[in-house]
Amino acid sequence: MSEEIERNLGEQPLVAVMARSGLKAQALVEASTEQLTHKMVTRACKGRRLTPKAKAKVCAALCAASGEAHKVSELFNY
């Protein structure tokens, strides 16, 4: 009866947004005012399931690095 939660969800729309802006994981880590790590960004791009707080950190860092406004719902498809 135990249902496994799918943890690997494939490449996320975040990757396309970062590529369009010419950003790498390092740029997001540097732009973050919170404790965002390279590992969190890598997991976000690969589609590993993140907590809502971690997704918000990635979104805030992307907004700061790119100078554009983004919503969490447009960066992640889960």
In a domain, 5, yes or no: no
**Which range marks the domain in which residue 45 is found?**
13-75
In a domain, 49, yes or no: yes
Q: What is the pTM of this model?
A: 0.86
Determine the pLDDT at residue 23: 94
Q: Give per-residue pLDDT as tens, 9-25.
A: 889 999 999 999 999 99
The CATH number that applies at residue 56 is 1.10.260
Q: Give per-residue pLDDT as tens, 22-77.
A: 999 999 999 999 999 999 999 999 999 999 999 999 999 999 999 999 999 999 99
* Contact residues for 43 (Cβ-Cβ < 8 A; gap 6+): 50
Overall domain count for the chain? 1
In a domain, 60, yes or no: yes
* Three-class DSSP category at 48: strand
